[in-house]
Chain A
Amino acid sequence: MKSIRFEHVAKHYDKNPVIKDLNLTMESGERVVLLGPSGCGKTTTLRMISGLEDISSGNLYMGSRLVNDVESGDRNVAMVFQNYALFPHMTVFKNIAFGLRTYGLPKDEIKRRVAEVVRILELGGLEERLPRQLSGGQRQRVALARAVVKRADYFLLDEPLSNLDAQLRMQARKELVKLHEIYHPTFVYVTHDQIEAMTIGQKVVLMYKGEVQMADNPYNIYHRPANVFTARFIGSPPMNVVEGTLEGRRLALGGLGLELNDDWMEVLGGRGATKVKLGVRPESIELSATCSGRGLPVTIKYVENYGNKVGAYFDLNGTECIAALDQDVAQGRTLYWDVDFRKLSFFDAGTDLNIGYPEGYMTRGEAALPDAEVLLAGSAGRAEAGGGRS
């Protein structure tokens, strides 16, 4: 088994806590992405798995083995570093074969294995070059090749794409998923880029200040955020979160009132007259010129163009909100937000935690992960064709 389990793991440097009470399971063969702003502890978490960083307290299991005191060399992990960490004085071949040589594999086996990853990562013809004679994208693939060639149970990647330009990054994303499908290691990927996290991760672990905010599949992370931090971190522009007061069936938002439906009353009704936070994604807000009865009037104070969408800013109960609209709207106009109850989230105003959803709402979350095959459809075909790329 290639699972990873953190049990009450903490890490501190001197007195500074970096990770506080981490409890997390990564399934065998799963693609897990550690996501969060810089300094949130995601890289530290990855390095604790690799054994390059020891843990201050708690237990870390890899498979069924307690690895608290196991050296990194004995954990069967391969790692790709942000700066690639290629040996500047070794050729591409020697860089890739480095680990295999220290394990004393026979020469033929080393050659065969290196040739295989060179083919998969399209590095053919570059074997005798030095790292400084390669482009950024090629170096990145050599770093990947060196990790892949080991066929380790655990594949750890520390922001491996952050030094690539946007186009290469898209391509490399697909390549990574493809590699995972071929070798099927437990895959732990650190990034601060939410697009990367969503496209690569089967499970996304969002961290902030050394704590896990939410660990779930990308759909739930996006549509059913566990707390306000997750709601605000994921998505661009982020989810609108507005505080309101429950008054019976009515949610009071400053001078406005939103009449809640029966489904939501089942979830929220028991709370009495308390404050809650209403969350709604910018693209889930539809504004129309005419009032349909329960529509909330909002005044557009600023408009910006995203190319495919238009961002319309308005205030709701003193909080600035954004609606991502398909059509341009005029600044200063008053429009009506026809609330779609199936696209709302509610958070407790005190704890910032998600209160829950009515039965039957947003069911896609449990049903389907964004399947690897969908992402792979393009890249796999290209690899089989063996298309050369310079």
Chain B
Amino acid sequence: MRIKRRDAPWVHAALLLLVLVMLYPIAFAVGNSFKNQKEVYGNVLALVPDAPTLENYETITTRISYGRVVMNTFVIAFIVMAFKVFTSFIVAYAFVFLRFPGKDVLYFILISTMFIPFTVTMIPNYITISRIGLSDNIFGVLLPQLSDAMGIFLLRQQMRSIPVSLIEVARLERTPHRTIMRTIILPIVRPAVISTAIIFFINSWNEYVWPNLILKSKENFTLSLALQQFVGAEGSPDMAISMAMATATMIIPLILFSICQRYIMSTFASSGIKG
């Protein structure tokens, strides 16, 4: 949308306000995480601490093994992302470019699983995972999450815009499907694949309920579970420390997103099937 010059000041003011509303909680968390105990309770609303300190972060590293928790979270998020993207990609390819009986019915069933709430599958999954001995294990967390109808849907939409004749050219040259996917489809839908991957990664990174159900021991915790420890109902919640933990939880996806965002923008700008 283009903003008309006459309306510009008002529109900019409104947008600025929205940005502030969105950024305030983040600034609140980051700001308070650098305050000492006294200042937090004396002046909680100030965004910039008077005497910045790292003591809250030091406390975190003494109470939990931060590196281990980050590694757990990363391993889960990365494997979930990788599998979801891979399975979504090949399934979407099959739905778009292959002919097989029952294709439409199968796709309908697949897509309708998107509308099943997590709470419905939570209990059956929990029982299954514990019966096969994967409770309190990060593989128990990621096992039920290796594919995702949403990813299939998104990538299928993208692949449908690719003319079938591109695949037919390849078929005339005896090109195997894996080569078609790698050398033709992937380069064309790369921006969509990257965006989908980021969404999957961040969703898994922030996930709370399911890991909370499976993981029991602290050395297996993910960041969101560790964060919960600092804001729990037991004992007095220590606000400065919990804000430090919140900052430590969001910093990695934030960095990841800012790196990839540049990449996404450039791929969007330089690709395009129409030419």
Contact = CB atoms under 8 A, between A and B. Distances in A.
Interface stretch (B10-18, B82-90, B172-180, B250-258): B172-180
Interface in B148-201: 163, 165-166, 168-175, 179, 184, 187-188
Interface in A187-235: none
A72 B172 contact: yes
A99 B272 CA distance: 23
Given A88-B273, A130-B275, A102 B175 contact: yes
B2 interface: no
B174 A73 contact: yes
B272 A85 contact: no
Given A81-B165, A131-B275, A50 B172 contact: yes
B262 interface: no
Nearest to B168: A52
Contacts, number: 65
B63 interface: no
Contacts of A99: 172-173
Contact of B171 (A52, A78, A89, A131): A52
B166 A85 contact: yes
A contact residues, range: 20 to 34
A113 to B, nearest CB: 14
A335 interface: no
Q: Describe B's contact surface by its main secondary structure.
A: helix
A173 to B, nearest CB: 22
Contact of A85 (B165, B175, B187, B188): B165
A40 B171 CA distance: 25
Contact of A102 (B168, B173, B271, B275): B173
Contacts of B272: 88, 132
A83 B167 CA distance: 13
A306 interface: no
Contacts of A88: 188, 271-275
A146 B175 CA distance: 15
Q: Which of A72, A79, A85 has the most CB of B within 10 A?
A: A85
Interface in B227-275: 271-275
B270 to A, nearest CB: 10
B172 to A, nearest CB: 5
Contacts of B271: 88-89
A98 B173 CA distance: 8
A13 to B, nearest CB: 12
A132 B274 contact: yes
Nearest to A73: B174
A87 interface: yes
Contact of A78 (B165, B172, B274): B172
Q: Which of B168, B179, B273, B274 has the most CB of A within 10 A?
A: B168
A98 B174 contact: no
A315 interface: no
Q: Which of B184, B274, B275 has the most CB of A within 10 A?
A: B275
A266 interface: no
A89 B188 contact: yes
A50 B168 CA distance: 10
A102 B179 CA distance: 9
Q: Which of B163, B169, B273 has the most CB of A within 10 A?
A: B169
Q: Which of A73, A74, A83 has the most CB of B within 10 A?
A: A73
A54 B165 CA distance: 16
A49 to B, nearest CB: 11
A14 to B, nearest CB: 13
A73 B171 CA distance: 6
A77 interface: yes
Contacts of A150: 173
B188 A72 contact: no
Contact of A81 (B169, B174, B179): B169
B36 to A, nearest CB: 55
A82 B165 CA distance: 9
Interface string B7-40: 0000000000000000000000000000000000
B188 A71 contact: no
20 contacts: A50-B168, A52-B168, A52-B172, A72-B171, A73-B173, A73-B174, A73-B175, A77-B172, A79-B169, A81-B168, A85-B163, A85-B165, A88-B271, A88-B273, A89-B187, A89-B188, A98-B169, A99-B172, A99-B173, A132-B272
Given A89-B188, A99-B172, A102-B174, 12 more contacts: A52-B168, A71-B171, A71-B174, A72-B168, A72-B172, A81-B168, A85-B166, A85-B168, A88-B271, A102-B170, A102-B175, A132-B274
Interface of A: 50-52, 71-74, 77-79, 81-83, 85, 87-89, 98-99, 102-103, 130-133, 146, 150
10 A-B pairs with least C-beta separation:
A132-B275, A73-B174, A85-B165, A99-B173, A89-B187, A81-B165, A102-B173, A85-B169, A88-B273, A102-B175
